[in-house]
Amino acid sequence: MTHQDTDQGQGGRLNPAVFHGSVAGILIFLIYTIAFTDHATAFFNAGLDWIGRTFGWYYMLAIVIYLAFVIVVGVSRFGKIRLGPDHSRPEFSLLSWSAMLFAAGLGGAILFFVVSEPLTHYLTPPVGAGGGADAQRRALVQTFMHWGISGWGLYVLMGMALAYFSYRHRLPLAIRSTLYPLLGKRIYGPIGNAVDIAAVLATVFGIATALGIGVMQMNYGLTYLFEVPEGLSAQIMLIVLVVSLATLSVVSGVNKGIRRLSEFNLLMVAAVVLFVLLQGDTLMLLNALVMNTGDYLAALTGKSFETYAYNPEAQGWFSGWTVFFWGWWIAWAPFVGLFLARISRGRTIREFVAGALFIPLIFVMIMMSVFGNSGIGMVEQGLVVLGEQAVNMPQATIYTFLEQLPWVGLTASLVTLLSIIFFVTSADSGALVLSNFTYILRDVNHDAPIRLRIFWSVLIGLITLALLMAGGLRTLQSAVVITALPFSAIIFLVMIGLYRSLKIETGKLEARQQVVTGNGAVLDWRERLDRTLDAGTHDRAEATIRHAIRPALTELAEELKLRGQQASLTERQLEENQLACPRLRVDFDGAPSFVYEVRTRRMQPPSFLPADDDYYLRLDVHLADGSVGQDLNGYTRLQVVHDVLNEYQQHLHFLTQAGVDGSLENIPGHQHQLEGDMSLRAKPA
């Protein structure tokens, strides 16, 4: 995927309804929070308690359904569909992809909770008394629940839907596109705008919550290292610092700033975890990791439905922890989902589901187990202050924890730096995503202009400051849970729309298999053998286009027009020195178009076949969904005609079958599939 960062947004334009609607909602919130701080604090706290009591069961059920859906899709026949054209391949290596998954999906909040959460669950569990081996095992399982596969199912669902509709069907890179199978062209009207505004608001408050938690931790880290006083003044300076760094990163784009920061981030996390593992009781920590993993897998089903209905005294804990975490995951889903889509083009759904679910899960389980068990062990050995901090001042916990290990000056500095980088990667990714949400991109392979990314980066900082002024951690938790509630319903619609579209997609593949192709009947077997063994030179490819492909498509286009079909023929040239290739397109009212295009591809000749040149040209057939892997080199005009008719017949059969199941107007726009490459130049044939 070619990425270019231009201030023109590759010919797109601002989406005024989504942009102004989102900014208006945010400004109302900022004015209310800053002007009426006490009232806002009371309102947010009451909102969190009310949602926890009223919708706790709903959050639990929703998270389970989201996760079950993505797993079923991943292992089903849908799993082999690519998030992009059939010929696309991943842009990023597995290491870079994994690093960006981890950094964008978790953010620096994991450093805030990595010691404090297991300790809090150990000392003050929702039910029963704290302390002891059983409480320790339950504490780690509960921590795994909040940070594990359940939440990542949300990210995978949103990322899969956005990548599928945008990169495979050329719809806008926005939440509204995922509802196309349900709403059709109405996604471009008020309903689509409302969906995108809800996504922007949820994203903004989700990122601001994570950034606010991180600022609290960074503030304490500077107090610990340099005696910088804790308070709003220091937090304002930190917000300015993070926003400034995030702006520099997001301006440089995904391939440079965000990818490199994420890779560096992952290496630093691995170094810190390895240090803690080797400095502690290594064998015990490794044994505990295996046991914690087994406990988590065994308890996953039961814990996923645990609402504490028979323990009213645990409802406050349930709202403040589990409901908060599920609301936070939901609020981050559009942001992380779009970012995952942005870095996952070309992977199959099965690869995407497996990687995005389990790679971050492995990182999280190792980190939480090593730090959590080490911290609990310190408390059991008499470090009472660590347990008190975990419950009452969690931002200080990791520094007190590191004091018990060698080289505290180095490790504390590293953790503080890691906190900054974590939140820069979250803020810059968030600014990029919010820009794309509020901008109509002409080409989904590019991003919104730089000036819009800077705007959202600054606005994220202002919202974070307002939330901190309105009461700190409790208000941050309340805001994210409240804004996540309406968006959780949209996610269910996304799930239904994605399933409908995937079902149609596999129906198209089945239609191709049901229609018997007849090209072999018009091709002598010796000719087929000659073409198989004879690589196509530039001259041969040019001759095939001139004498076979272009005349065949021209004749077909004219005949289709005579029969009342909306056929057109154009030529597209990939590069100056490449051959101009013909492209036949047949449009249908209210249904996806038929596209048959020939593209040249420069190939290295295999060593086991004779070749006169250093390279040869394939003449690949591309349909709306990408390459079908067929080379037309050496075809005669009649053979090309039969090949086009085979594909055309299969397309008509697919439209017939799809029309039986539902409206063809709500099938994503296959006709736009090949029009997004800005490097192509088209001219009438």
Question: How many whole angstroms separate alpha carbon 435 and alpha carbon 448?
Answer: 6
- Can you tell me the distance from the alpha carbon of 198 to that of 331, in angstroms, rounded to the nearest whole number? 10
pLDDT number for residue 516: 47
Half-sphere exposure of 127 (CA within 13 A, CB side): 11
**Most confident of the following: 134-143, 202-211, 418-427:** 134-143
Residue percentage of the chain with pLDDT more than 70: 85
HEC-encoded secondary structure of 489-510: HHHHHHHHHHHHHHHHHHHHHH
Element (H, E) at 14: strand 13-14
The pTM (predicted TM-score) of the whole model is 0.82
Section 602-610 average pLDDT: 62
Over residues 146-163, the pLDDT tens digits come to 999 999 999 999 999 999
Burial label for 433, CB within 10 Å (0-12, 13-18, 19+), is buried
Tell whether the model's pLDDT for residue 489 goes beyond 60: yes
Instruction: State pLDDT tens for residues 269-305.
Output: 899 999 999 999 999 999 999 999 999 999 999 999 9
pLDDT of 7 reads 43
* Residue whose C-alpha is closest to residue 159's, from 395, 449, 399, 495: 495
H helix or E strand, kind and range, residue 102 = helix 94-106
Domain boundaries, the chain: 9-403+428-506, 519-684
Q: Average model confidence (pLDDT) for the chain?
A: 83
pLDDT, tens digit, 9 for 90 and up, residues 321-335: 999 899 989 988 988
> Reduced to 3 states, what is the DSSP secondary structure of residue 317?
helix
d(C-alpha 101, C-alpha 354), whole Å: 12
| 544, 634 Cβ separation under 8 angstroms | yes
Identify the pLDDT of residue 263.
81
Bridge partners, residue 456, by sequence:
none
Q: Quick check: 357 and 100 in contact, CB under 8 A?
A: no
Query: Distance (Å, rounded) from C-alpha 581 to C-alpha 574?
Result: 9
Chain segment 417-430, per-residue pLDDT in tens: 888 877 777 777 78
Amino acid occupying residue 106: L
Cα 247 to Cα 242: distance, rounded to the nearest angstrom: 8
Question: Crossing angle for the helix pair 384-392 and 349-380, nearest 10 degrees?
Answer: 130
Q: How many residues does the chain have?
A: 685
Neighbours of 4 (CB within 10 A): 12
Is residue 658 pLDDT above 80, yes or no?
A: no
Residue 683's pLDDT is what? 47
pLDDT-derived band at 81 (thresholds 50, 70, 90) equals very high
Choice between 239 and 252, residue whose per-residue pLDDT is larger: 239
Q: Which of 324, 348, 381, 451 is nearest to 77 (CA)?
A: 348
- Residue 318 reports pLDDT greater than 50: yes
259 CB contacts (<8 Å, ≥6 apart)? 92, 96, 99, 100
Angle at 318 between CA 312 and CA 322, to 5 degrees: 160
Rounded Cα distance, 195 and 403, in Å = 48
Q: Tens digits of per-residue pLDDT, 357-379? A: 999 899 999 999 999 999 999 99
* pLDDT value for 682: 42
Beta carbons of 640 and 549 less than 8 angstroms apart? yes
Tell me the C-alpha to C-alpha distance, in Å, between residue 9 and each of 203, 211, 254, 340, 451: 21, 27, 15, 20, 10
Higher pLDDT, residue 24 or 13: 24
Question: What is the predicted pLDDT for the residue at 424?
Answer: 76
SS3 label, residue 55:
helix
What does the alpha-carbon distance between residue 266 and residue 418 come to, in Å, rounded to a whole number?
A: 10
* C-alpha to C-alpha distance for 330 and 336, rounded to whole angstroms: 10
Q: How far apart are CA 670 and CA 593, in angstroms?
A: 7
The predicted pLDDT at position 547 comes to 86
What number of other Cβ atoms are within 10 A of residue 534's Cβ? 15
Question: Worst-scoring range by mean pLDDT, 393-402, 489-498, 664-673?
Answer: 664-673
- Confidence grade of residue 518 (pLDDT, cut at 50, 70, 90): very low
Model confidence at 72: pLDDT above 90: yes
Residue 139 binned pLDDT confidence (cut-offs 50, 70, 90)? very high
């502690």: which residue's tokens? 280
